[in-house]
Amino acid sequence: MSGAVKRLIPLFDRVLVERFAKQTTTKGGIVLPDKSTKNVLNATVVAVGPGGRNQQGEFVPCSVKPGDKVLLPEYGGNKLEIDNKEYYLFRDSDILGKWQE
């Protein structure tokens, strides 16, 4: 994880994730052009916000934590580019699941 991204604190229930590396060769060893590969749905949580607010205005903590391996939905999220690397911000409630160790 690069230096700048460490300083980014997501707000509310936003979760900053880094997708797993794309598989760029087939099992048979053929190199895949970048466009032909779909978004990788597995990602590592880099940082989480303090949580969204309930109707009393109190923070409700996120359900994932930095380091968690999560399953992302196919669409959505805000793409960021920090130090030439791609990151994504998702709302906590849009993350589908997490992978147990």
Tokens of 61: 């903590």
Q: Name the residue type at position 30.
A: I
Closest approach of Cβ 23 to a second copy, in Å? 13
Closest approach of Cβ 97 to a second copy, in Å? 5
Tokens of 100: 């147990």
Closest approach of Cβ 31 to a second copy, in Å? 22
Closest approach of Cβ 22 to a second copy, in Å? 16
Nearer to a second copy, 43 or 95 (CB): 95
Nearest to 80 by CA among 12, 28, 7, 27: 7
Nearer to a second copy, 29 or 57 (CB): 57
Asked whether the CA dihedral 53, 89, 8, 80 is positive or negative, the reply is negative
Q: Name the residue type at position 97.
A: G
List residues binding a second copy (CB under 8 A): 7-12, 14, 16, 41, 49-50, 53-58, 60, 63-64, 71, 73-74, 78, 80, 89, 92-93, 95-101
DSSP label at residue 30: P
